Structure 1
Amino acid sequence: MNEQQRKESSQIRQGTPADVKSDQDNLNRIKDKTSEDFMKYFETTYQPPSLRKAQRRRKEDVKVHYDFTIPEDLDNIGQGRKYMIRTYGCQMNEHDTEVMAGIFEEMGYESTNDTKEADIILLNTCAIRENAENKVFGEIGHLKPLKLENPNLIIGVCGCMSQEESVVNRILKKHPFIDLIFGTHNIHRLPQLVKEAMFGKEMVIDVWSKEGDIIENLPRSRKGKIKGWVNIMYGCDKFCTYCIVPYTRGKERSRLPEDIIQEVRHLAAQGYKEITLLGQNVNAYGKDLDLNYGLGDLMDELRDIDIPRIRFTTSHPRDFDDRLIEVLAKGGNMLDHIHLPVQSGNSDILKIMGRKYSREEYLELVRKIRKAMPDATLTTDIIVGFPNETAEQFEDTMSLVEEVGFEAAYTFIYSARDGTPAARMKDNISMDEKKDRLQRLNKLVNDQAAEAMKQYEGEVVEVLVEGESKKNSEVLAGYTKRNKMVNFTGPRSSIGTIVKVKINKAKTWSLDGVMVEETIEVK
């Protein structure tokens, strides 16, 4: 990024300190309402995010704020208290949890994994799949006895599910013991929301219809010092017909390049060995900045930072451009493991999914990647049983999986999400047929994964050691550059370093080996 671009970027979005107020203020301050009165007020006053408006939304200026502070009267409100956050869903939710944990700890709270010790419990939720939503409501049910035993316990629901009108309605009707509901755009208001939940008499609901600004100086409580998440953008503008994310996370908003670079440098100085750049559609980064500066340009600058490994997720094939391929092909700390969701191998299904590329265009992108990076590892996401998917169309997915040679895939049976266009489509595929297709697809992916793993037997690979194996405390575990899990014997002193391991046994999803030499010096 040259000096002129830096000047332009600093002029694009200069935010001024602002006390952004929720348009639910009146709702949040209801006192001494009966459940019936509350529901009536809620139904006539609460304005949920509008799916129609979201699809028609235009580009708006997004302000960047560097002025986050814990209000003085809340600075030590958590002294002697403990918090617990349970996280569901994607890496973005994990990142949000790190921010909320950082805010809690600045307020004086301590972390706990024991629900009986907690003074406040937050469920950071995911709305992508129906199964994830069911898990959250199951957990809400399990927490009710704790609330009955300890009325001072604060229970909150946040994250993507909180942005859905149907979810908030269900909580109001069936789980009135919940104290706090807030969405994805106002995490920076957590101190104020906790205060309202502690001292108010009613459920606190703070869900914004409009996306928030970018708050740059939020605290974070990261797990360990080995791998770190770095969010580079928020939201998604793709509006795939099955996906709720554009409605729960809002429009695409990119962070300024210099703020991202500064954060990565800070992590490198702390000794982190790997970072993952995050975004709902990460390779659309920069398109809203008017800088002629995209993910490839950002990655090129990050190549010069002294950190061994840099990944990114999740990408959309439509935005995976030649500049990004060019930079990734330079190697170094740019890894050649690429997660590239395809969702279906049939062009007609891709069209009604709203994916904005065809089977042929996806395969052409794969060809470009393979040409630039012959040894690249490709993984993907696939949905089976999309409304009215024929047997022949499913076979196109199977043949594409074989042709590309995916070494892993997240596979799902289609799950309708309320409010999305696909939820209104007629679905004439039986569940038995869907399960059969998923089973066949998984077998193919498993076979390809096992075949790819066999090639590592006898090879020496570099492994970033993350800790003990979950199955055996005497064995260490970590990942290769291509994201292959390795279990091996070696000294505990190697945790947090990159070591060389000789592979002596390949399994479908992991490799076994023995450390063959001392820690690799990272330059």
Structure 2
Amino acid sequence: MHEPRKLYVKSFGCQMNVYDSHRMADTLAKEGYVETQDPADADLVILNTCHIREKAVDKVYSELGRLRKAKQEDGRDTIIAVAGCVAQAEGAEILRRTPVVDLVVGPQSYHRLPELLAQAKAGARPVDTEFPTEDKFDHLPAPSAAATRSRGPTAFVTVQEGCDKFCTFCVVPYTRGSEVSRPVLKIVDEARRLVDQGVREITLIGQNVNGFHGEGPDGKTWGLAALVERLAQIEGLARLRYTTSHPRDMDDALIAAHRDLPVLMPYLHLPVQSGSDRILAAMNRRHGRELFVDIIARLRDARPDMALSSDFIVGFPGETEEDFQATLDLVDQIGFASAYSFKYSTRPGTPAAGYGAQVPEEVKTDRLARLHARLEASKTAFDAGCKGRRFDILLEKPGRLPGQLIGRSPYLQSVVVTAPPAGIGELLAVEITEVGPNSLAGRVVEHQDVEDRGLASDRPLAAMEA
């Protein structure tokens, strides 16, 4: 009897890549591959790559260098594949630059992996970065129950891919293509299957997820609010989230869904990128600061315990100190529970790459440090405001010490609890007793499985308290 072949998949970048990596593993499981966490033990290594920033691309080539060295030293006949957005953007250039790579596959062609692997084993070094007419989701197999359970009680479900916004700094429209949304019933079927296999929390993902416009069962186009309302009816689904959103697509119906659906978590990642109207216009964001602030006010009016996360870019071409101060002022005005901040990175082929007035690297470094400090202060204030509150915590994994369990709050904070024997995937009401820099700690105040509540609290988190 032949031993199963081993598969190692490493994901870079966004949640979409994590989802895609799982689907590739599910596809290859049908071909006799089992996952391993050790690349040295693998017969097939897939790097699922991100092209959003220059540093992310550098990481991929650095990883390929390590794999080349290890392959030479071990003498293993390991197949190495590059997938994802770097594959889509650079295609055959990857093969030229790194001879150790055996195949290149873009994000729309994962369902063709078995065929591409057969070509690679025959020495063909295939490159598939087309945007095929068929829907890859129709060809990707569902994960086995064992695979779903091994990934824990939370799962991603892709509902939309691509982006039509064409922000001047972003490569996504070129690597992921134009916006395409999956049919509602196919998403519902996938979500129901995951819940039947033990998933309690689902995050809907897409490059522009709140721009979802899928075909509904009535033949009409449904928006994200209607999709979320339908998913909320799945028995056993305790939590729903979605990411990543664009301010232009936060419509009234979606804001009302946050008010009306307890299963929809009171935590939203809504990238703004800058607090300066001048820079937002140069980025082609197609919204200004006032619209963003108004959306947040309406969300908090609909759901007073709403918390916000965001993305920021510093050092965009032409950004002045005044523009940067506008970003700092916005952070103070909104009060973010969490945020991600980056230095502007020139991406070849994007309009901003050709802009004049590129900001010096030392200025970008200084501004990033100042913004990071301001965002950290905002996060620290939000976390401190959670002490003494009661949240429903979704248990995800054992802690480091006996009797410890680690879960997530409605705000995605890591929470360590000492609990009586409880299963992964249960929801426990927990009072937060300690606040650390990277996690919270709490005590169980009731031990019950909560089906219909996202947040247990004796009072709202009014205006973030930040």
Q: Does the TM-score normalized on the shorter chain lie above 0.5? A: yes
Query: Which residue does 1:241 correspond to in 2?
Result: 168
Whether 2:280 is the aligned partner of 1:350: answer: yes
Deviation (angstroms), 1:442? 1.2
Q: Do 1:79 and 1:108's aligned partners in 2 also have CA atoms closer than 8 Å?
A: no
- Out of 121, 125, 150, the residue aligned to residue 75 of structure 2 is 150
- Distance in 2, matches of 1:337 and 1:214, equals 30
Structure 2 unaligned regions, length at least 5: 453-466
- Distance in 2, matches of 1:232 and 1:473, equals 39
Query: Which residue does 2:96 correspond to in 1?
Result: 173
Q: Do 1:214 and 1:255's aligned partners in 2 also have CA atoms closer than 8 Å?
A: no
Q: Say which is worse superposed, 497-506 or 85-94, in terms of deviation.
A: 497-506
- 1:463-478 pair list within 5 angstroms: 463-469=393-399, 475-478=404-407
Pair 1:474–1:388, CA change in 2 (3 A): farther
Greater Rg, structure 1 or structure 2?
A: 1
**Secondary structure of 1:181 counterpart:** strand
- Distance in 2, matches of 1:514 and 1:458, equals 10
Q: TM-score, normalised by structure 1?
A: 0.81
- 1:27-66 pair list within 5 angstroms: none
Counterpart AA for 1:381: D
- Distance in 1, matches of 2:31 and 2:103, equals 18
Query: Which residue does 2:65 correspond to in 1?
Result: 141
Q: Say which is worse superposed, 313-322 or 288-297, in terms of deviation.
A: 288-297
Question: Percent of aligned positions with the same letter in both sequences?
Answer: 39
Q: Do 2:209 and 2:242's aligned partners in 1 also have CA atoms closer than 8 Å?
A: yes
Whether 2:135 is the aligned partner of 1:213: answer: yes
Pair 1:428–1:288, CA change in 2 (3 A): farther
Pair 1:428–1:286, CA change in 2 (3 A): closer
Pair 1:473–1:124, CA change in 2 (3 A): farther
Query: Which residue does 1:162 correspond to in 2?
Result: 87
Pair 1:487–1:346, CA change in 2 (3 A): same
- Distance in 1, matches of 2:118 and 2:124, equals 12
- Distance in 1, matches of 2:418 and 2:182, equals 41
Cα deviation digits, residues 442-490 of structure 1 (max 9, x gap): 1111111111112222222210011134x65663211111222212222
Cα deviation digits, residues 127-168 of structure 1 (max 9, x gap): 011111111111100111333343621111111001113x64
**Secondary structure of 2:297 counterpart:** helix
- Out of 2, 6, 14, the residue aligned to residue 90 of structure 1 is 14
- Distance in 2, matches of 1:428 and 1:293, equals 42
Query: Which residue does 2:360 correspond to in 1?
Result: 430
Q: TM-score, normalised by structure 2?
A: 0.90
Counterpart AA for 2:129: V
- Distance in 1, matches of 2:444 and 2:33, equals 40
- Distance in 1, matches of 2:423 and 2:108, equals 40
Whether 2:296 is the aligned partner of 1:366: answer: yes
Q: Do 2:15 and 2:205's aligned partners in 1 also have CA atoms closer than 8 Å?
A: yes
- Distance in 1, matches of 2:393 and 2:137, equals 35
- Out of 195, 208, 211, the residue aligned to residue 118 of structure 2 is 195
Q: Do 1:79 and 1:107's aligned partners in 2 also have CA atoms closer than 8 Å?
A: no
- Distance in 2, matches of 1:444 and 1:473, equals 37
Q: Do 2:198 and 2:425's aligned partners in 1 also have CA atoms closer than 8 Å?
A: no
- Distance in 1, matches of 2:140 and 2:131, equals 22
Deviation (angstroms), 1:326? 0.8
Structure 1 unaligned regions, length at least 5: 1-75
Whether 2:448 is the aligned partner of 1:519: answer: yes
**Secondary structure of 2:61 counterpart:** helix
- Distance in 2, matches of 1:492 and 1:279, equals 36
- Distance in 2, matches of 1:413 and 1:322, equals 33
Deviation (angstroms), 1:101? 0.3
- 1:241-390 pair list within 5 angstroms: 241-286=168-213, 291-306=220-235, 307-390=237-320
Pair 1:186–1:231, CA change in 2 (3 A): same
- Distance in 2, matches of 1:500 and 1:420, equals 48
Whether 2:53 is the aligned partner of 1:129: answer: yes
Counterpart AA for 1:503: I
Deviation (angstroms), 1:80? 3.0
Counterpart AA for 2:276: N
Pair 1:174–1:225, CA change in 2 (3 A): closer
Query: Which residue does 1:32 correspond to in 2?
Result: none
